[in-house]
Chain A
Amino acid sequence: DQQVKQNSPSLSVQEGRISILNCDYTNSMFDYFLWYKKYPAEGPTFLISISSIKDKNEDGRFTVFLNKSAKHLSLHIVPSQPGDSAVYFCAASARVSGGYQKVTFGIGTKLQVIP
């Protein structure tokens, strides 16, 4: 049961243009949504997050949008740079007993930014 879905396995974008990565989820109990970036042979690194009570969070070139009614979020990168080429994982966290958070990941979207 895939609760976090990234339907685009890959995306190619020209340098300087906008990259839009999409993510859908099914579990209404998720209270935070996160994006992680992963380079080959490295672990995922946290990029940006958004609370379920917000609809937008911005950090430099990275903006995450949340549409709760559609259970959809997206990550916008503008302008895209060659160093942004990586696999981007969408993730969502939900509270479990004891107040801890369980983080569920999507399958990832490979972004290639072409110089």
Chain B
Amino acid sequence: DTAVSQTPKYLVTQMGNDKSIKCEQNLGHDTMYWYKQDSKKFLKIMFSYNNKELIINETVPNRFSPKSPDKAHLNLHINSLELGDSAVYFCASSQFRLAGFANTGELFFGEGSRLTVL
């Protein structure tokens, strides 16, 4: 009954390979995110989707392509992996509230997926 679940939790792969990380949330939220925590421990937003629509797209290489088949899923596909892609990738979700209600930025995170590129 995990609220935000990511698979796989660990991924070790060679440079140049293509890999995907899947994320699913059962909280009924309509907004999902991918964050990257690099070796310096910075937690940086990469993408955000609301109801399958891209709403935030930070300066991320084109090799990263998010896909949201429905509002409960946000997958991350990475092409031609590089050493610098090694990081922990966190999926998160939130519920967007309409006008009159505060959108505070409270996020619900998954446990993270540690990607190691050799």
Residues of A within 8 A of B (CB): 32, 34, 36, 41-46, 49, 51, 89, 91-93, 95-105, 107-108
Contact = CB atoms under 8 A, between A and B. Distances in A.
Contacts of A107: 40-43
Contacts of B41: 107-108
A46 B41 CA distance: 18
A99 B93 CA distance: 16
Contacts of B103: 93, 95, 99-101
Nearest to B109: A43
B50 interface: yes
Given A43-B110, A43-B111, A45-B109, A104 B45 contact: yes
A34 B90 contact: no
A74 to B, nearest CB: 18
Contact of A32 (B40, B50, B99, B104): B104
Interface residues of B, number: 29
Contacts of B27: none
Given A44-B90, A100-B48, A49 B111 contact: no
Contacts of A104: 45
A104 B40 CA distance: 15
B55 A105 contact: no
Given A32-B102, A103-B45, 18 more contacts: A32-B104, A34-B104, A42-B112, A43-B110, A44-B90, A45-B109, A46-B106, A49-B104, A49-B105, A89-B43, A97-B55, A98-B50, A101-B94, A102-B48, A103-B105, A103-B107, A107-B42, A108-B41
Nearest to B110: A43
A98 B38 CA distance: 29
Given A32-B104, A89-B43, A102 B56 contact: yes
Contacts of A45: 109
Given A102-B48, A102-B56, A103-B45, A93 B112 contact: no
Contacts of A34: 104-106
Interface in B22-48: 31, 35, 40-45, 48
